[in-house]
Structure 1
Amino acid sequence: GGGVFWLACGDAQALHGDVSRVSRYLGLLDDGDARPSVMLARLRRWLDEHPGWLCVLDGASGPSILPSLSLPATGSVLCTSGSPAAEWEAALGWEYALELGSFSDLEAHSRIVRCLPDAVPSYVKPLVAALRNLPLSISIALGFIREFDVKIEKVKDMLLLDLAARHPPLFHPLTQEQMEDQTTVHVPTIKSHGELSPEAALGSLLGVIMKELSKKGSAACDLLSMASLSHSTGLRRALFQGHAEETKTLPGGRVERTGPDWDALLGSIAQLVRIGVLECGEGDAVTCHPMVQEAIIDRVGASVKAAWGALRRILARGMRGFSPHDPRGWEHSGPLVRHALAAERRRG
């Protein structure tokens, strides 16, 4: 067959970058002509001549992406998109546009019990409800429970307390007696599950996780904040090495390292991957799910400025030695520019 190709379609820059990467892999840029229209035309020709391929268009903004690519009919196309299935069906007449929503109660319960066979059923149900049955939130919650070895009921209580603090109208208020009772932790209950959005639940879950991470130092939280600011293509781990080697000169000429310990930084990356809030993608790039990115930026608030400062230093260091007038450096510096632009937008 023609192979499997993955094109990120979140924006024009990401798509252009992946078309360039695939074209280079297929040997279609031997003459160095990297104009987007030329690369796309050559890629179409290659796909037409090599039937049986599968092209994954990841994060497509909507059905309009397909006519703009005009891929030949010699293979198959799989799109992932935040647009409703009905929009794809109406625009393209696709019969197999599937809308992936939340788990059913049974699916969510089964997922948790498979991973945590000792979980008490009476605690699983309220946790599933508080997480709004969202697969991403459930996966992250399971990773958090395993990584920190916390009891499922504690996670449920922490999550509900955070949600109640951020969305008080959705919860039954505590009675005066409960507030005065110092011997028991009283957890608010949800008034209406229908009014609690999956995004709110994910945000509170990440808030709980960040609070626990911060108890062991700020490295993991800082890393998560920077990953949330960056472009969805992910930050390569090598970029962080210079960050870890940052130093400052003290009076008397003594040099002190100000960046995080490199081994500790790698440990933080590994921990966040185990929890499920980060992934290590192609080329060891540290990536963050878009929903996680939005929730983290909403949570960190004023701290986003500090995260942006650290990310800016990392990107500036990565850009050293590249001239904007020298095309030879564009391939390596282009992704860094994407991160800078994404971070600038997200920090507001």
Structure 2
Amino acid sequence: MATIEITYRDALRRALQDAMRADESVIVIGEEVGAYGGAYGVTKDLIGEFGPDRLIDTPISEAAIVGVAIGAAMTGLRPVAELMYVDFLGLVMDQLANQAAKIRYMFGGQIGVPMVLRTQGGTGRSAGAQHSQSLEGWILHTPGLRLAMPATAQDAYHLLRHSLTLPDPVVFIEHKSLYTRRETADLQSPDALWGKAIVRREGRHATLVTYSRMVHVALEAAERLAARDVALEVIDLRTLNPLDMATVIASVERTSRALVVSEGPLTGGVAAELAARISEECFDYLEDPVIRIAGEDIPVPVAPDLESASIPTAELIATTVLRMLRR
């Protein structure tokens, strides 16, 4: 069958399994990725097929994990390095931002770093301020790093498979609240090519641009707005580098209004960059200023009620759209 029922987690596992079967240079390296099967179960049982030479358990040293992956990538392997939490980026930013992102440039294009850094971020498990952040803005700010943030099981599979064909480093951020989400997915054909956004819901009154888990929150808001005769167009960016502004611009030209939704902090974040780009490139079409809806500028609370109140909700999005439309 062309489509199957699969969870986000299992789609990622299937992507790794298929890539490792197709290419013996693909290895996985990280804490507990082998015998334990990964902190979130993505590499469960893979060691039985590929063994400890390709599912490599490491000491608790994120800097060592990424450093070794960079060296392995430069010398012929395609490593998938796993960080248990995106919050640990602070421990690897020298290796990632000063080395992996710059080696092709520093070597005059003679060598690259074909590696994938898999990690997870976002809220939803009351994991506290040090394990619940959305730090994709750090990656987006660094030239030389590709950035994928899939919202669906189908994209989780296809974006990861494509990431393992690229000549440069890819940071692949999975949302912790999506792992158990079960969907119908086509593992033969992607929704869109790498670097292309997709319109998840068509509409005429306003364009909402988002990515990762917020795609599903935005679609819920669009359902609520439909009951008020408001048609909200929802765009899933899928990758933030490359960033498909052409799809966004075409939508805003039709709707004349735009909102950007991100779980990351409001100030200086991805939402700010997207809003600025839309304002610059769609200025002649906008009826209203671009609105940002993003996470609060606070450390993420551990209390479930406070945690959920610190990020955008479907109710907040719907209310904001109605105010924008003066309804």
Place the TM-score, normalised by the shorter chain, in its bin.
Answer: under 0.3
Task: Give the helix-richer structure, 1 or 2.
Answer: 1
- Whose radius of gyration is greater, 1 or 2? 1
Q: TM-score, normalised by structure 1?
A: 0.25
Higher strand share: 2
